[in-house]
Amino acid sequence: MPPPSFNPPAVIGHRGAAGLAPENTIAAIRAAAAAGARWVELDIALTRDGVPVLLHDARLERTTDGEGAIADRDWCDLAQLDAGAWFAPRFLGQRVPSLAEAIDELGRCGLGANLEIKAEPGRAEATAQAVVATLRRHWPRQLPPPLVSSFDRLALAALRKADPELLLGYLAEGLEEGWQERASALGCASLHLAHAKLAPEFFAAARESGLLLLLYTVNDPEEARRVHGAGAAAIFTDRPDRVAIAA
């Protein structure tokens, strides 16, 4: 069962607020806060020299002016890249934030967070350890405990080993065979599923498992209210300025 204190808001900004600002940047975190979000979801990858940073893709081309794989670049290289101009000219100069920098901004904005781990093959344990170490050093006491999720079961196991008290989210596109046993063994608090592949049995499965159901990514306000009413504890949205669900 989820711990009694685990109560995420009904609306969580996706990649900060990916419809309002370049995803996984300080600007996206600020945009989510300005739109009234109380939590954001952020993607975490690991540089070659072991620094956790905010990036979704394994490669740099889509969201920065750099090239190549994140795992082949050191933090000092990534910190020089532009991560905003691709979205709109006014975001020129936005950088790839480290997780520590992002946490500092979350503290200033008063935002909770779901951190999604994007571990490269063979680096699940290193990524998990770096994230846990950063959370221990930087997470503000005034914020609710972070929720850390991943599609990578090895990463979830490494996170649980590194911090037995960490809130974990079991992330999947659908309900694969044996998911409930794996989620239980990992001590997960929430189940994160793709709204695009939503099936009625997902709600019943979440209730049966005792896990909170979180759905990604829902940008239509009416659909967000519908799935929340059907039993989703929270939805991830690119547009927290448009999607609002009464508590």
Distance, in Å, from the CA atom of 90 to the CA atom of 203, rounded to the nearest integer, reads 41
Pseudo-torsion of CA 175, 181, 186, 191, nearest 10°? 30
Tell me if 170 sits within 8 A of 145, measured CB to CB: no
Distance, in Å, from the CA atom of 208 to the CA atom of 27, rounded to the nearest integer, reads 39
Q: Mind telling me the catalytic residues? A: 14, 56
Q: Identify whether 25 is preceded by a cis peptide bond (ω within 30 of 0).
A: no
Percentages (nearest 5) of helix, strand, coil residues in the chain: 35, 20, 45
